[in-house]
Amino acid sequence: LLTCDIVMKHNKRSVFVIITALFISCTVPMSGFSTRKMYVADNFNERTLSGYSICTGPLFNQKNNDITDTANLQRDIKALKDLRKDLRFKVFTEAKNQFTMSSGTFVCDSLFSIIANGSVVELQLLDKFWKSLDCDYLMIMRIKDAMNIHSFNNVNRKRIRIEAELWSVINQESVWRYEVYGIAEGKSVGDRELINSAIHKVYESLPATIPSYESGLW
């Protein structure tokens, strides 16, 4: 009987520890990001980006609308330059405006529909679009999942999943594709703040550049 009583007390203690751990995991605010490599071209490495420029944008939401924060564009570009001092950034909205002026709003809207839907074959065939870009690479991002989560114990969290593609302008092909997943405490982190943090994580995931005599612009 004494042995059974000890075993029961031990089991109760174990159950209590498990329940306490689950309670703590549900109440302690979580934040952080993880990345997943989806595709990297064989010839894309640390030397590839050295001396070349990247157009930042567009950023599509789940309704295929470009939600680039144009009101704070210069601030966001500066933040990226501070984050990746080894990369050269250009603003995609300027190229978009020029393309709209030369081709018309209808053509530009059709183009963005193709980019948003992620049709690789159709995007590769847009010769006029690629030739209009004054940059070496174009970054395209799509928000695949974004949600506010309210748990039963009044915990609020935000989560986001972004798919990012880097395209070679001259070759008109995707050379790098990553997925970024993020979660944050919902009451202290705003939607745009979480989006910007996810974008920064995308650019952090690009390979660090090193000087090369074989590639880059003099």
What digits encode the pLDDT tens for the residues 55-90?
A: 998 999 999 999 999 899 999 999 999 999 999 999
Q: Which amino acid is at 139?
A: M
Q: How many CB atoms lie within 10 A of CB 178?
A: 20
% of the chain residues with pLDDT over 70: 82
What integer pLDDT is reported at residue 69 of this predicted model?
92
Q: Give the mean pLDDT of 22-33.
A: 51
**What is the band of 31 on the pLDDT scale with cuts at 50, 70, 90?**
low
Confirm if 59 and 199 have CB atoms less than 8 A apart: yes
pLDDT score for 27: 38
- What mean pLDDT do residues 152-179 have? 92
| Strand-pair partners of 40 | 176
pLDDT in the model for residue 15:
42
Look-up of token digits 């030369």: 102
Look at residue 142 in the predicted model and tell me its pLDDT: 96
Can you state the angle between helices 73-83 and 191-205, rounded to 10 degrees?
40
The 10s digit of each residue's pLDDT in 99-125 is 888 888 888 888 888 899 878 888 888
Check residue 2 and give its pLDDT: 42
Residue 44 has pLDDT above 70, yes or no: yes
Per-residue confidence (pLDDT) for residue 211, from 0 to 100: 65
Which of the four pLDDT bands, split at 50, 70 and 90, describes residue 28?
Answer: very low
